Amino acid sequence: MTEPVLDVRGLTVKLPPAADRPFAVEGIDLHVNAGEIVCVVGESGSGKSVTAFTVMGLQDKRALTPVAGQIMMGGEDLLKVGDRRLRKLRGEKMSMIFQEPMTALNPVAKVGEQIGEMLEIHTDLSASARKSRVIAAMEDVGLPDPPSMYDAYPHQLSGGQRQRIMIAMALVLEPVLLIADEPTTALDVTTQAQILELIRDIQQRRGMGVLFITHDFGVVADIADRVIVMQHGRVVEQGPVDQVLGAPEHPYTRMLMDAVPSMTPPARDPAAGDRALTVRKLDKVYGHAGLLGQGRQVHAVKTVDFDLQRGETLGIVGESGSGKSTVARCVMRLIDPTSGEVLIDGDDIARAREGAMRHHRRDIQIVFQDPYRSLNPRRTVGQSIVEGPTNFGLDPGEALTRAQDLMRVVGLPPEALDRFPHQFSGGQRQRICIARALAMEPRVLIADEAVSALDVSVQAQVLDLLDDVRDRFDLAMLFITHDLRVAAQVCDRIMVMRQGEVVEHGPTASVYADPQHDYTKALLDAAPGHRMLQA
């Protein structure tokens, strides 16, 4: 039997003294063979990313200290080689794809030059030879017109294109091991499917070993040969993908599997509440005509119509650039619509001046994707929650009492109001953002990708919470998502958008069971693991 391309034996990584447990990972064993994809799954804090970063030698050495074990690659223990040797191995023998390419790429350098930098550091190729090889690498990952894209900057590319650049950079030196850390979390379903297919295709052609970090069991079902399940820094189960997903043995694995949303929408009674929001012929055009009628314009939203009743959740789904978040921002008046109506209590707020808008601001509240960026890191969460109500004239004492009550509603202790955002987990921060939105006692709550970055178990808890607060406060909810599993479970109706237009709209169960538009069918087919995990 050939030697694995990666063999981790008894790895233990120590945490700082003030941490919630002694070790980030403890006594873990795993290996990756040439030509196979091994997926590591687990919740945040399970140790999966620490393992990947320690293999690459990229862990924060001030806080994470390997104290036992071996990381073997090609007969060398990566824990014992010097920094110079480790830098040489990174790129030549092992490479990594990160979760968010926009933060991993240099925003002021051309993408072709960033790929070429790998060749400049690790090879003796001439500048022209490097450029030729970079263009070949860009062609290999399916980028359009590589010679022109060579000179593009990251902000000029789509999310999927930026991720392909990251993959080209990781593979340009043809390493034997590729580590992918949540590389598709932020991508819509069709782009995600393309990236997964690309990784699998290149892995098979080159015979690489791939260590794939993810919390998405749909991705695991689509791409993995073997699965490793981690909890609290330990490996609790591992085996072939069919065995682990088909007959999980450990209770933790079964819990994670049970938390995966089903693609089958549950039966829902039609909402019978009063109409909370009406949108008619909503249009949004970015750009301007320019001189002599010339110029670049983007028609982001085209003649969108919908009604939303209290006690009802309307889901808006579609790929990145489909216009779904633009609709939400127009409804919130975070941006001004070009034309159309947005009616609340019969008042059209689409073009209302700020003075007239002010009393409607409390009627519509939004929960964003990233709760950490949504909360002021210098203010306690209590200060963030009471700020809105007190700005609208509520007595500070009453606002504090409301905040304490809402903390209980979202499942957090009222005493935590005195803590700062960094002292909470991601799921807890999102609960705080929901409490802050509810503090305004809105009629409409918009959730814009509010659970897309959360682990499946935490995601399930937040989805249950959103369902609960909708019913408890008789809210109308506009739910923006690219995750069709999540949409299936929480939305009464679904509106499918493509290139700014609504291509299909109807009850969720009807749309999922019998999609009428080809684009809707393509989205449903692209949902990761939809066959293996169908429930």
Task: Write the pLDDT tens digit of every residue in 246-294.
Answer: 999 999 999 988 888 888 898 888 887 889 999 999 999 987 655 555 5
Cα separation of 29 and 10, whole Å?
A: 5
Q: Do the Cβ atoms of 27 and 234 come closer than 8 Å?
A: yes
Residue 397 lies inside a defined structural domain of this protein: no
Residues 299, 304, 309: CA angle, nearest 5 degrees:
150
For helices 159-171 and 127-140, angle between their N-to-C axes, nearest 10 degrees: 120
Question: In which domain, by residue range, is 149 found?
Answer: 108-174
Among candidates 267, 332, 178, which has minimal Cα distance to 507? 267
The H or E element spanning position 115 is: helix 111-122
Cα separation of 264 and 276, whole Å?
A: 28
- The C-alpha R_g of the chain, in whole angstroms, comes to 25
Residue 437 lies inside a defined structural domain of this protein: no
Among candidates 162, 111, 158, 153, which has minimal Cα distance to 135? 111
| Residue 88 and residue 189 in one domain | yes
DSSP string across 23-78: EEEEEEEEEE-TT-EEEEE--TTSSHHHHHHHHHT-S-TTT-EEEEEEEEETTEET
Residue 376 lies inside a defined structural domain of this protein: no
| Residue 27 and residue 69 in one domain | yes
Look up residue 515 and give its two tokens: 């999609």
| Residue 446 and residue 358 in one domain | yes
Cα separation of 434 and 385, whole Å?
A: 10
Q: Do the Cβ atoms of 42 and 215 come closer than 8 Å?
A: yes
Cα separation of 192 and 197, whole Å?
A: 9
Residue 312 lies inside a defined structural domain of this protein: yes
Handedness of CA 226, 169, 71, 41 (dihedral sign): negative
pLDDT one-digit tens code per residue, 501-535: 999 999 999 999 999 999 999 999 888 765 454 54
Q: Do the Cβ atoms of 231 and 42 come closer than 8 Å?
A: yes
Cα separation of 212 and 221, whole Å?
A: 12
| Residue 495 and residue 515 in one domain | yes
Residue 498 lies inside a defined structural domain of this protein: yes
Last residue of a domain, one of 126, 149, 174: 174
pLDDT in tens, the chain (535 residues): 578 999 999 999 998 887 778 999 999 999 999 999 999 998 877 889 899 999 999 888 888 899 999 999 999 999 999 989 998 898 889 999 887 777 789 999 999 999 999 999 999 999 999 999 999 999 988 888 899 999 999 988 877 788 889 889 988 888 999 999 888 876 777 878 888 888 888 888 888 999 999 888 888 988 999 999 999 999 999 999 999 999 999 999 999 888 888 888 988 888 878 899 999 999 999 876 555 555 667 888 999 999 999 999 999 999 877 889 899 999 999 999 999 999 987 889 988 887 778 878 889 999 987 787 889 999 999 999 999 999 999 999 999 999 999 999 998 899 999 999 888 877 788 889 999 999 999 999 999 888 876 777 888 888 888 989 998 899 999 999 888 888 999 999 999 999 999 999 999 999 999 999 999 999 998 887 654 545 4
Residue 369 lies inside a defined structural domain of this protein: no
Last residue of a domain, one of 174, 192, 208: 174
Last residue of a domain, one of 145, 174, 203: 174
Cα 386 from chain centre: 29
Among candidates 52, 13, 49, which has minimal Cα distance to 32? 52
What does the DSSP 8-state code read for residue 490?
Answer: H
Residue 348 lies inside a defined structural domain of this protein: yes
- Give the predicted TM-score (pTM) of the model: 0.78
| Residue 87 and residue 180 in one domain | yes
Quick one: CA torsion of 52, 57, 60, 61, rounded to 10 degrees? 130
Q: What domain count does the chain have? A: 3
| Residue 255 and residue 283 in one domain | no
Lookup result for tokens 């919630």: 20
| Residue 300 and residue 222 in one domain | no
Among candidates 533, 496, 100, which has minimal Cα distance to 318? 496
| Residue 80 and residue 207 in one domain | yes
Cα separation of 506 and 494, whole Å?
A: 6
The H or E element spanning position 466 is: helix 456-473
pLDDT one-digit tens code per residue, 308-328: 999 999 999 998 778 898 999
Among candidates 520, 487, 491, 478, which has minimal Cα distance to 268? 491
Handedness of CA 140, 142, 147, 151 (dihedral sign): negative
Residue 240 lies inside a defined structural domain of this protein: yes
Q: Do the Cβ atoms of 30 and 238 come closer than 8 Å?
A: yes
Q: Do the Cβ atoms of 53 and 106 come closer than 8 Å?
A: no
Amino acid found at 318? G
Cα separation of 438 and 111, whole Å?
A: 43
